[in-house]
């Protein structure tokens, strides 16, 4: 199986690039290749001109893995001290870096607590801070919000936005389109190990849908008649819900008339602008969270 | 319903190789080791090696020498083993025999002193199997057989002492009878000429029987199984030449023996942190920093070595505080042996951790390996109790080398320079096991 296939990425300084794709798309493998933990069968990876996994590349990269890769029996400060030491920091430089990380992750009041006693959100924030302790030129965040509640997720977003405000360059993987839309300057849509689209959020939507809007119509029940009607009008159906892209609002009246003529009982109707989910569906024929 | 639960448990067990090994391989392994050590599989009784020095060179002492050599339970040694291409070494003397026991080369030496043959039997009360220094009278001192022993072996001196009495009684019946008659004559005021004639006639018949017996090789060897002895007519002075006056006896042995076994458990458990880190993703993260796999293993080796050494320090301090182990008189030797043992044990733990894929697997494999190593390496019972083949097998464990080294330091009081073989082997083990661990850990280098 090819996990990552012929991918080439270019980032501008201070940019946040999102890698958006479903689970198993190859996002994490790509990140692990960049940090030198996966050796590609063919091809090369260079980081700021240095080969991946070289000392120069390691020093330039900060990796926030998907797993909670911190020591549970160490306190937050001890964890940061350990990872700082692994990157060669010591003395005042290390102390300053620890203080910055604790403040950035809003863990100052829990700095002396054992990591295993922290909440899930706090552990996530510490996990992120440990990847930034050496102030890397490029930060790679691999789904940093996996398994956290909405409140903690917002806290993490604020941390990333604060980091971006300081000019950090970030590659951010996620399968949540809301995160990609909110945090990333450009978004690469990844599927089956390949980048199938790469642009800004607006440009991706514009390219796929022009000025179209999305109509979401939910009917009383799934039926063969619903499938036939949806196909006839160029939409997609999932259970009892059909989706269409329409270029003009007047197309909506025509759709509703034909549904009525087909004997379909409409329960709910929504009109919205296309989003990344719609783009992914358009490009792959599958939903992002399949 | 019960069957469904049982079936589920059975399937789970079948797929849990660690539990299967603990359930079936470990008991069978241990059963086999104990059966081998304590008999079962062997027809021959373990022979006890003993140095024999005959300073008397009388007819009686020669008879005793030959009888001791024929004794199936003993392996009589009269000179040190010769090395390749070197001239045959000289026979042991009383002094060199004592030195050999002191050096731990052998557990027991028998010295037949000059003049013993003139009066081999002692009718003095408590003369036989006396321990400690001989009485001050020159006559008494010179005629007692000296049994020099290493008190760390509690079995061999007792066995040799008993066998000596038995061998003397069965190999020298004429001498025994003659001396018995002389003693009786002294006691009752002399025999009549008729009694003396009949006694001489009986002694003549006894000599004929002995001559016939000696002419038949198969019958010549005393029957080891009969085990009957007169119980102490041969005067023997038992003297411990190692650890004389010490009341710590086997404390240093077990401090080292038990210590090494638990060091192995601790080291493998501590090295298992590597598996936790691999499972949690921390190992990946560490290896994405400036730390290489070799650096990581080196750091863990350093920590585990210090941990093991600290454990040894605590154990020996406990021995000093509670059991009066003479720790502070042997600090240099303790430091050398402690550090060498600790680094070997730490490497062993790292190798096990790198071999295993899960904590559960590590638990099973380490339990299996450590208990087997400890049982044949002398951590559970002294190796001198084991058959020779098992003693040789024990030399393939780091337990045996560590225990031997600590014994040299604490029991035999040997200098650091005498620890060369133990230090060399333990450090060699440490290097080889670490290199093996590093090679196996390549699986974590990259995905």
ipTM of model: 0.82
Interchain CB distance below 8 Å, B281 and A67: yes
Within 8 A of B289 by CB-CB distance, chain A residues are: 58, 83, 86-87, 134
The whole-angstrom separation of Cα B162 and Cα B64 is 14
Query: B52 near B58, Cβ under 8 Å?
Result: no
Mean pLDDT confidence for A201-209: 84
Instruction: Name the residue in chain A with its Cα closest to that of B276.
Output: A71
Which residue, chain included where needed, has tokens 């109707």? A269
Interchain CB distance below 8 Å, B281 and A65: yes
Within 8 A of B281 by CB-CB distance, chain A residues are: 65-69
From the list A59, A69, A71, the residue facing B284 with the nearest CB is A69
Mean pLDDT confidence for A210-219: 85
Indicate the burial class of B137 (C-beta count within 10 angstroms; 0-12, 13-18, 19 or more). exposed
Instruction: Name the residue in chain A with its Cα closest to that of B444.
Output: A37
Instruction: Name the residue in chain A with its Cα closest to that of B299.
Output: A86
Torsion-angle region of residue A53: left (phi > 0), alpha (psi -120 to 50) or beta?
left
Instruction: Tell me the shortest Cα–Cα distance from A68 to chain B, in angstroms.
Output: 7
pTM over 0.80: no
Instruction: Tell me the shortest Cα–Cα distance from A57 to chain B, in angstroms.
Output: 10
Helices (H), B87-235: 94-102, 138-143, 156-171, 173-188, 193-215, 217-220
Question: Token pair of A28, please?
Answer: 């994490």
Query: B129 near B161, Cβ under 8 Å?
Result: yes
Question: Which residue(s) pair with A245 in the sheet?
Answer: A214
Within 8 A of A86 by CB-CB distance, chain B residues are: 286, 289-291
The whole-angstrom separation of Cα A94 and Cα A98 is 6
Within 8 A of B293 by CB-CB distance, chain A residues are: none
Which of these ranges, A73-77, A286-290, B410-414, has the smallest mean pLDDT?
A286-290
Which residue, chain included where needed, has tokens 């038995």? B166
At residue B194, φ and ψ (nearest 5 deg) are: -65, -45
User: Over 90: is that where the pLDDT of A249 sits?
Assistant: no
Instruction: Tell me the shortest Cα–Cα distance from B348 to chain A, in angstroms.
Output: 24
Instruction: Tell me the shortest Cα–Cα distance from A69 to chain B, in angstroms.
Output: 4
Question: Between the CA of residue B230 and those of A116, B164, B187, what are the distances in Å?
Answer: 74, 11, 20
The whole-angstrom separation of Cα B294 and Cα B186 is 85
Three-state DSSP state, A255: helix
The whole-number pLDDT of residue A111 equals: 94
Instruction: Name the residue in chain B with its Cα closest to that of A54.
Output: B290
Interchain CB distance below 8 Å, A67 and B286: no
Inter-axis angle of helices A224-232 and A250-261, nearest 10: 150
Instruction: Tell me the shortest Cα–Cα distance from A56 to chain B, in angstroms.
Output: 9
Within 8 A of A141 by CB-CB distance, chain B residues are: none
Count of helix runs (H) and strand runs (E) in chain A: 11, 12
The whole-number pLDDT of residue B35 equals: 63
Query: A83 near B289, Cβ under 8 Å?
Result: yes
Question: Token pair of A256, please?
Answer: 């509703």
Instruction: Name the residue in chain A with its Cα closest to that of B280.
Output: A69
Tell me whether A172 touches chain B (CB under 8 Å): no
Angle subtended at Cα B261 by Cα B257 and Cα B262, rounded to the nearest 5 degrees: 120
Query: B127 near B28, Cβ under 8 Å?
Result: no
Query: How do A213-219 and A16-20 pair as beta strands?
Result: unpaired
Tell me whether A71 touches chain B (CB under 8 Å): yes
Interchain CB distance below 8 Å, B282 and A37: no
Instruction: Name the residue in chain B with its Cα closest to that of A71.
Output: B282
The whole-angstrom separation of Cα A69 and Cα A82 is 12
The whole-angstrom separation of Cα B429 and Cα B431 is 6
Instruction: Tell me the shortest Cα–Cα distance from B299 to chain A, in angstroms.
Output: 12
From the list B282, B291, B447, the residue facing A37 with the nearest CB is B447
Tell me whether A88 touches chain B (CB under 8 Å): yes
For chain A, the domains span 16-205, 213-273
The whole-angstrom separation of Cα B67 and Cα B167 is 6
From the list A37, A39, A70, the residue facing B282 with the nearest CB is A70
Three-state DSSP state, A246: strand
From the list B285, B290, B447, the residue facing A69 with the nearest CB is B285
The whole-number pLDDT of residue B109 equals: 92
Q: What is the CATH number of domain A16-205?
A: 3.40.50.300
Interchain CB distance below 8 Å, A68 and B281: yes
Residues 91-130 of A with CB under 8 A from B: 130
The whole-number pLDDT of residue A12 equals: 87
The whole-number pLDDT of residue B139 equals: 43
> How many residues make up chain B in this entry?
447
Within 8 A of B290 by CB-CB distance, chain A residues are: 55, 58-59, 86-88
The whole-number pLDDT of residue B116 equals: 83
Tell me whether A48 touches chain B (CB under 8 Å): no
Question: Taking Cα atoms as reference points, which of B110, B220, B240, B219 lies closest to residue B164?
Answer: B110
DSSP chain A: --SS-S------TT-EEEEE--TTSSHHHHHHHHTTSS--SSS--EETTEETTSHHHHHHEEEE-SS--S-TTSBHHHHHHHHHHHTT--HHHHHHHHHHHHHHTT-GGGTTSBGGGS-HHHHHHHHHHHHHTT--SEEEEESTTTT--HHHHHHHHHHHHHHHHTT-EEEEEES-HHHHHHH-SEEEEEETTEEEEEE-HHHHHHHHHTT-EEEEEEESS--HHHHHHHHHTT-EEETTEEEEEESSTHHHHHHHHHHHHTT--EEEEEEE---HHHHHHHHHSS-TT-
Query: A78 near A101, Cβ under 8 Å?
Result: no
Query: B114 near B55, Cβ under 8 Å?
Result: yes
The whole-number pLDDT of residue B53 equals: 92
Name residues whose C-beta falls within 8 Å of residue B19's C-beta, 6 or more positions apart in sequence: B13, B364
A266-272 sheet: strands from edge to edge:
A236-238, A241-246, A213-219, A266-272
* Residues of chain B in Cβ contact (below 8 Å) with chain A: 280-282, 284-291, 446-447
The whole-angstrom separation of Cα B416 and Cα B423 is 10
Express the helix, strand and coil content of chain B in percent, nearest 5 each: 65, 5, 30
Interchain CB distance below 8 Å, A37 and B280: no
Tell me whether A74 touches chain B (CB under 8 Å): no
List strand residue ranges (DSSP E) for B20-77, in order. Answer: 48-54, 74-77
Interchain CB distance below 8 Å, A65 and B447: no
Farthest-apart Cα atoms in chain A, separation = 77
The whole-angstrom separation of Cα B203 and Cα B208 is 9
List strand residue ranges (DSSP E) for chain A, in order. Answer: 16-20, 46-47, 50-51, 61-64, 138-142, 169-174, 186-191, 194-199, 213-219, 236-238, 241-246, 266-272
Question: Which residue(s) pair with A61 in the sheet?
Answer: A138
From the list B284, B290, B446, the residue facing A86 with the nearest CB is B290
Question: Between the CA of residue A133 and those of A55, A126, A165, what are the distances in Å?
Answer: 16, 10, 17
For residues A119, A120, A123 and A125, what is the CA-based torsion angle, rounded to 10 degrees?
-110
Interchain CB distance below 8 Å, A83 and B447: no
For each successive 10 residues of chain B (447 residues), what is the average pLDDT?
Answer: 74 74 69 63 66 88 86 86 76 89 86 83 54 46 78 80 81 73 77 81 74 56 36 73 62 84 87 89 92 92 92 88 86 95 95 89 88 90 82 92 92 89 97 96 84
CATH topology for A213-273? Alpha-Beta Plaits (3.30.70)
- pLDDT tens track for A85-111: 999 999 999 999 999 999 999 999 999
The whole-angstrom separation of Cα B342 and Cα B423 is 11
Rounded mean pLDDT of chain A? 88
Instruction: Name the residue in chain B with its Cα closest to that of A128.
Output: B285
Question: Token pair of B261, please?
Answer: 């076994």
The whole-number pLDDT of residue B224 equals: 36
The whole-number pLDDT of residue B46 equals: 67
Q: Name the helix (H) or strand (E) containing B392.
A: helix B388-394
Query: A171 near A17, Cβ under 8 Å?
Result: yes
Within 8 A of B284 by CB-CB distance, chain A residues are: 32, 37, 65, 69
């Amino acid at each position: 199986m090819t996990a990552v296939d012929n991918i080439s990425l270019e980032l501008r300084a201070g940019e946040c690039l999102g890698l958006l794709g479903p689970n198993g798309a190859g996002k994490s493998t790509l990140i692990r290749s960049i940090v030198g933990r996966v050796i590609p069968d063919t091809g090369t990876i260079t980081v700021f001109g240095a080969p991946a996994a070289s000392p120069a590349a390691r020093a330039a990269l900060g990796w926030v893995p998907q797993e909670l890769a911190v020591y549970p029996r160490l306190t937050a400060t001890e964890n940061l001290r350990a990872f700082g030491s692994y990157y060669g920091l010591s003395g005042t430089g290390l102390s300053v870096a620890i203080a910055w990380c604790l403040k950035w992750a809003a863990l100052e009041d829990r700095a002396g607590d054992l990591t295993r006693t922290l909440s899930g959100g706090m552990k996530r924030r510490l996990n992120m801070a440990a990847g930034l302790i050496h102030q890397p030129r490029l930060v790679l965040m691999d789904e940093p919000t996996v398994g956290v509640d909405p409140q903690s997720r917002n806290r993490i977003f604020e941390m990333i936005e604060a980091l971006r405000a300081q000019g950090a360059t970030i590659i951010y993987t996620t399968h949540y389109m809301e995160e990609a839309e909110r945090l990333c300057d450009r978004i690469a849509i990844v599927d089956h190990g390949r980048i199938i689209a790469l642009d800004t959020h607006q440009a991706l939507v514009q390219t796929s849908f022009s000025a179209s809007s999305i109509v979401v119509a939910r009917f009383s029940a799934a039926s063969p008649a619903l499938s036939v009607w949806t196909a006839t009008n160029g939409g997609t159906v999932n259970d009892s819900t059909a989706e269409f892209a329409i270029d003009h609002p007047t197309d909506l009246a025509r759709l509703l008339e034909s549904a009525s003529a087909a004997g379909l009982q409409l329960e709910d109707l929504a009109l919205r602008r296309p989003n990344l989910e719609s783009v992914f569906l358009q490009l792959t024929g599958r939903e992002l969270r399949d | 319903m019960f069957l469904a639960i049982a079936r589920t448990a059975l399937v789970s067990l079948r797929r849990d190789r660690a539990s299967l090994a603990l359930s079936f391989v470990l008991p069978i392994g241990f059963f086999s080791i104990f059966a081998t050590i304590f008999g079962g599989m062997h027809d021959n009784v373990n022979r006890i090696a003993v140095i024999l020095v005959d300073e008397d060179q009388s007819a009686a002492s020669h008879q005793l020498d030959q009888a001791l050599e024929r004794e199936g339970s003993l392996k009589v040694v009269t000179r040190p083993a010769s090395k390749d291409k070197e001239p045959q070494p000289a026979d042991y003397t009383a002094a060199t025999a004592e030195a050999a026991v002191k050096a731990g080369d052998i557990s027991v030496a028998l010295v037949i002193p000059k003049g013993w043959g003139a009066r081999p039997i002692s009718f003095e009360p408590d003369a036989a199997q006396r321990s400690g220094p001989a009485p001050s009278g020159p006559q008494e001192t010179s005629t007692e057989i000296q049994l020099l022993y290493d008190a760390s072996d509690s079995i061999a001196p007792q066995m040799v002492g008993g066998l000596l009495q038995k061998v003397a009684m069965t190999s020298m019946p004429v001498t025994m009878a003659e001396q018995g008659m002389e003693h009786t004559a002294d006691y009752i005021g002399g025999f009549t000429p008729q009694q003396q004639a009949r006694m001489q006639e009986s002694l003549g018949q006894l000599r004929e029987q002995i001559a016939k017996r000696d002419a038949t090789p198969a019958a010549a060897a005393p029957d080891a199984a009969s085990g009957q002895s007169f119980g102490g007519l041969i005067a023997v002075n038992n003297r411990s030449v190692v650890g004389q006056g010490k009341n710590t006896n086997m404390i240093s042995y077990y401090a080292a023996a038990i210590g090494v076994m638990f060091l192995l458990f601790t080291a493998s458990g501590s090295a298992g942190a590597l598996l936790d880190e691999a499972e949690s993703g921390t190992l990946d993260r560490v290896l994405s920093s400036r730390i290489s796999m070799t650096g990581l293993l080196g750091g863990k080796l350093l920590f585990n070595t210090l941990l093991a050494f600290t454990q040894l320090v605590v154990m020996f301090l406990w021995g000093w505080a509670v059991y009066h182990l003479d720790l502070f008189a042997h600090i240099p030797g303790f430091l050398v042996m402690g550090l060498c043992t600790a680094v070997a044990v730490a490497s062993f733990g790292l190798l096990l951790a790198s071999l295993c894929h899960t904590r559960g697997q590590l638990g099973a494999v380490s339990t299996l390996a450590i208990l087997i190593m400890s049982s044949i390496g002398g951590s559970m019972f002294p190796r001198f109790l084991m058959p020779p083949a098992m003693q040789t097998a024990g030399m393939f464990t780091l337990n045996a080398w560590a225990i031997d080294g600590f014994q040299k330091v604490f029991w035999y009081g040997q200098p650091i320079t005498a620890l060369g073989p133990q230090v060399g082997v333990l450090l060699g083990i440490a290097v080889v096991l670490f290199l093996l661990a590093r090679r196996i850990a390549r699986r974590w280098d990259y995905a």
